[in-house]
Amino acid sequence: MSNIKNGKGVIGWIDYRLPIFSTLQHTLIDYPTPRNLNYWWNFGSLAGIFLMIQIITGIVLAMHYTPSVEGAFASIEHIMRDVNYGWLIRYIHMNGASFFFIVVYIHIFRGLYYGSYKSPREVLWWLGLIILLLMMATAFMGYVLPWGQMSFWGATVITNLFSAVPVVGTAVVEWLWGGFAVDNALLNRFFALHYLFPFLIVGVVILHIVALHTHGSNNPLGIDRKGPQDSIPFHPYYTIKDLFGLSFVLTIFAAVVFYAPDFLGHPDNYIPADPLKTPAHIVPEWYFLPFYAILRAVPDKLGGVIAMISAILILFALPWLDTSKVRSATFRPIYKKFFWFLFIDVIILTWVGGSPAEGHFILIGQLATIYYFAHFIIFMPIIGIIETPKPLPNSISESVLNKPIKDGT
User: What residues line the site for ligand HEM (CB under 6 A)?
Assistant: 41, 43-45, 47-48, 51, 104, 107-108, 111, 114, 116-117, 121, 124-125, 128-129, 131-132, 201, 205, 208, 212, 217-218
CB 219 within 8 A of CB 16: no
CA distance 258 to 379: 44
When the beta carbons of 174 and 224 are compared against ligand HEM, the nearer one is 224
399 a catalytic residue = no
When the beta carbons of 72 and 205 are compared against ligand HEM, the nearer one is 205
When the beta carbons of 14 and 134 are compared against ligand HEM, the nearer one is 134
CA distance 281 to 278: 8
Q: From the candidates 118, 208, 241, 266, which is the catalytic residue?
A: 241
CB 73 within 8 A of CB 273: yes
Q: From the candidates 45, 151, 217, 397, which is the catalytic residue?
A: 217
Q: From the candidates 64, 78, 213, 301, which is the catalytic residue?
A: 213
Q: From the candidates 242, 268, 322, 345, which is the catalytic residue?
A: 242
When the beta carbons of 45 and 149 are compared against ligand HEM, the nearer one is 45
241 a catalytic residue = yes
* In the complex, minimum distance from the CB of residue 403 to ligand HEM, in angstroms, rounded to a whole number: 25
CA distance 40 to 61: 32
* In the complex, minimum distance from the CB of residue 335 to ligand HEM, in angstroms, rounded to a whole number: 16
217 a catalytic residue = yes
When the beta carbons of 22 and 27 are compared against ligand HEM, the nearer one is 27
Select from 289, 350, 294, 345 the least CA-distant residue to 136.
Answer: 289
* In the complex, minimum distance from the CB of residue 287 to ligand HEM, in angstroms, rounded to a whole number: 12
Q: Is 32 helix (H, G, I), strand (E, B) or coil?
A: strand
Q: From the candidates 285, 322, 345, 387, which is the catalytic residue?
A: 285
Q: Quote the Cα angle for 204-34-130, to 5°.
A: 15
* In the complex, minimum distance from the CB of residue 391 to ligand HEM, in angstroms, rounded to a whole number: 21
* In the complex, minimum distance from the CB of residue 188 to ligand HEM, in angstroms, rounded to a whole number: 26
213 a catalytic residue = yes
Residue 179 backbone zone (phi > 0: left; psi -120 to 50: alpha; other: beta): left
CA distance 56 to 134: 18
Radius of gyration of the chain (CA): 24
Q: Is 33 helix (H, G, I), strand (E, B) or coil?
A: strand
Residues β-bridged to residue 34: 231
Catalytic site positions? 213, 217, 241-242, 285
